[in-house]
Amino acid sequence: MNKLIRSTAINALAFLSLALPGTLAAESAGELNVEITEWTVPWPDTRPRDPDVAPDGTIWLVGQAGHYVAHFDPDTEAFSRFDLPDGTGPHNVIVAKDGTLWVAGNRKGWIGEMDPETGELKTHPMPNEDAGDPHTQVFDEAGNIWFTVQNGNFIGHLDTSSGAVELAEVPTDGARPYGINLDSKGKPWIVLLGTNALATVDTESMEVTEIALPREDARPRRVVITSDDRVWYVDYAQGYLGVYDPESGEIEEWKAPSGPSGPYAMAVDVKDRIWFFETRQSPNTLVGFDTKSETFIGSVPVPSGGGSVRHMVYDPARNSLWFGTDTNNLGKAQLPD
C-alpha cells in the first residue's frame, strides 16, 4: 500500500483582509499540530472524491472518472469497490445511519440507493429531465436528503422511504447551486457558484430565497454551518472565507491566506473551527480558522500535492477530516484537540 504521511506543526500566521465593507482582519494565534495521511487508491486516474464515514468508522467514496463506489477500512488499509453503470460519473456519496449508501449519479440524472453488503443498486430518477446532474447531498434529521443540481439549476429533496423527489428551481438563471448544508432547524443553505449569492429553501413551500454577497465577482463553492447557525462559505473565484448571519443579515469576509487561491473543500469541527483547502497552488494547502477569535490558525500542505481537494467530511468520533484528491489519493487529516 502506497501511503504518504506528513506530521506538521501549523505555524500561526496573521493575514489582513482587504478593506471592504463588512470585511474583518484576522489576528495571529498559537501553534497546532496536524497529521495528514494519504493512501493511494488502487484504480489509477479515477478521481476519488467525496468520502463519507460509515457508522462502523470505515470510509466510503466514489470514483467520479472510474464510475464506482469504493470502501476503505482504516484498520486494515484495504480498498474494495462496487462498479456503477458505465457513464454514471458519481459525484457524491453519503452513508445513512443504517449503512445504506446514497450516490449522486451526476451524469445519469438519478440518486442511487446501494446496499453496502451486496452492491445492489436502486435508482431514483429526477422527475424533470432538465435536472440531469444531481451533485451534492446532505441528510436531514429524518434521514431524508437535500441535494443540489448544478447545471440544471435546482435544489432537490428526496424522501428516502418513498423515493419521491421534489425540485425547486433557483430564480437566477445559471446560478449553479453547488455546496449544501443544513442548520440546526433542518433548513438548507446552498452556495451558488454561478453568481455571487447564497440561497435557502423553505422546507414546506420549497420556495427559494437568494442572498447576494457584497462583491459581484464572488463565486462561493462550499458551505458549512457552525453551532450558532451562522452560514460560512468559501469564495473560489477571489479567495475569501465569509460568514452570513441569518439573524442580523450581516456578512463578514476574510481574505484567504494565499489570496485568490481557489478555496474549495470545506468542513467545520466540533469546536466550530473552519477548515478549507486552497487548491490553486501546488501543493494544495489545508487552512484552519477559529470562528470564536476570528483568527486564521495556520496551514499545512498536502503530501501528494492534492491536484484539487473538492470536498471533505468531518468525523467527530475521531476528530479527523477525510478527503479525496485529484492525485488519486484518499486523505485523512488528524486534527488537534
pLDDT in tens, 167-202: 999 999 999 999 999 999 999 999 999 999 999 999
CA atoms within 13 A on the CB side of 260: 5
The DSSP annotation for 83-142 comes to EPPTT--EEEEEE-TTS-EEEEETTTTEEEEE-TTT--EEEEE-SSTT---EEEEEE-TT
pTM: 0.93
Residue 6's pLDDT is: 55
Q: Does 27 score more than 90 pLDDT?
A: no
Q: Does 24 score more than 60 pLDDT?
A: no
The predicted model gives 306-326 an average pLDDT of 97
Q: Does 41 score more than 50 pLDDT?
A: yes
Share above pLDDT 70 across residues of the chain, in percent, rounded to a whole number? 91
Measured CA to CA, the distance from residue 192 to residue 173 in angstroms comes to 11
The predicted model gives 39-67 an average pLDDT of 98
Residue 231's pLDDT is: 99
Residue 5's pLDDT is: 63
The predicted model gives 224-230 an average pLDDT of 98
Q: Does 15 score more than 50 pLDDT?
A: no
The tens digit of pLDDT for each residue in 126-176 reads: 999 999 999 999 999 999 999 999 999 999 999 999 999 999 999 999 999
Question: For residue 330, which amino acid is it?
Answer: L
Residue 33's pLDDT is: 84
Domains of the chain: 3-334 (2.130.10.10)
Q: Which grid coordinates are listed for 199? A: 440561497
Lowest pLDDT segment from 18-27, 41-50, 248-257, 293-302: 18-27
Q: Does 246 score more than 90 pLDDT?
A: yes
Lowest pLDDT segment from 24-33, 101-110, 238-247, 256-265: 24-33
Structure confidence at residue 32 as a pLDDT band (50, 70, 90): low
Q: What is the mean pLDDT of the chain?
A: 92
Residue 273 class from Cβ within 10 Å (0-12 exposed, 13-18 middle, 19+ buried)? Answer: buried
Q: Does 10 score more than 70 pLDDT?
A: no
- The closest of 262, 275, 290, 261 to 331, measured between CA atoms, is 275
Residue 34's pLDDT is: 93
